[in-house]
Amino acid sequence: MVKQIIFLLTFIGFSSVVSEGSACALCSIFGGSETTTETTFKIEGMTCKACVKKIKSALIETQRVKKVKVSLKNKQATVKYDKEKVAVKELIKSVEKAGFKAELAVTNIIMDIEGMTCGECKSKVQSALNEISGVKKAKVSLETNKAIVEYEKGKVSVNQLVEAVNKTDFQAKSEK
């Protein structure tokens, strides 16, 4: 929808004021929506710049992919895409067709937290989890006594997450 709006506005003479950001704002007016998300994948088998180029090309050829950054050093690819038009499985298949192995670089875990009684308790646990290097995002619910933590595989272990909560004088255990 964004590309059609940009084309239309450019066609009628507004090319100097049109960008993807401004078109996204117009998308909502015309009933469309841009559901762009960013996902990072661990890539195995990448050894050189030619590999980087091959992976980047494979991902860009996937319909609705907007931007791809591939890091040889980190063995990762970060892909910006329309999540309503492209499934993560399709992106992984694209990398695999190019001859490499791909998997999500982040994962989620749900933890039961015992002992929280107020908003300050929730904040203390959430802060402890978010301060861990490799944790992308932690959200704690006082109502359900659970924490959902998004973290980088290989950088953080489940034990580290549990220990961080336990150091705040609350008890944690993972459901996963």
pLDDT at 39: 84
CATH architecture of the domain formed by 36-104: 2-Layer Sandwich (3.30)
Positions in the chain whose pLDDT score sits under 70: 1-34, 175-176
The 3-state DSSP class for residue 35 equals: coil
Q: Confirm whether 36-104 and 107-174 share one CATH topology.
A: yes
Q: How far is the C-alpha of 45 from the C-alpha of 95, rounded, in Å?
A: 11
| pLDDT tens-place string over residues 32-63 | 445 777 888 999 999 999 999 999 999 999 88
Contact assessment for residue 110 and residue 172, using Cβ atoms and an 8 Å cutoff = no
Extents of the domains making up the chain:
1-34, 36-104, 107-174
Which pair of tokens denotes residue 125? 């646990």
Q: How far is the C-alpha of 90 from the C-alpha of 59, rounded, in Å?
A: 9
Among the four given CATH numbers 3.30.1490.190, 1.20.1530.20, 3.30.70.100, 3.90.120.10, the one describing domain 107-174: 3.30.70.100
The 3-state DSSP class for residue 40 equals: strand
